[in-house]
Amino acid sequence: MDEKNIESNKYCIVKIYTKEDNLWFKREEYENVLRFLQKKKVIWATMTKGLVGYEKDRVIYKQKIFSFSEKMPVVIERVVPCEYLKDLLNELKNMVEEGTVFVTPIDLFINK
């Protein structure tokens, strides 16, 4: 990502695509992840559990009746003031062992 582009925006969206119960992100730790994000000045954060998805192994994981996969896809999305982005990304580099992280500069229209 072009740092010049980030500097012209006031906010960014940071997304992590991962799965449940991997080495760094456990189902029981959802609230711990949210507390970590609060400390990093994230203004909005959402965790969404997917119905079906795949990762770099291209194996499709999905829930079946009476059987819950431990590898269900999870998306963690947050809005971050760009001034705090570098610190957050440095910590995520050390934390995220499985998954993908990307950043998109945004124009925040309403933040009530």
Domains for the chain: give ranges and CATH numbers. Answer: 3-106 (3.30.70.120)
Among 14, 24, 40, residue whose Cα is nearest residue 104:
14
For residue 30, list its beta bridge partners: none
Question: 15 in helix, strand or coil?
Answer: strand
Reference 32, options 13, 49, 47; nearest CA is 47
pLDDT tens track for 44-93: 999 888 878 877 788 887 777 655 556 778 888 999 999 999 999 998 88
Q: Look at residue 32 and tell me whether its pLDDT is greater than 60.
A: yes
Confirm if 72 and 19 have CB atoms less than 8 A apart: yes
pLDDT value at position 112?
A: 76
97-112 pLDDT tens trace = 788 899 999 988 877 7
Of residues 63, 28, 66, 60, the one with CA closest to residue 47: 28
**CA pair distance 53, 58, nearest whole angstrom:** 9
Give the residues across from 104 on adjacent strands: 13
Partners of residue 54 on adjacent β-strands? 60
Residue 1: pLDDT band (50, 70, 90) is very low
pTM: 0.75
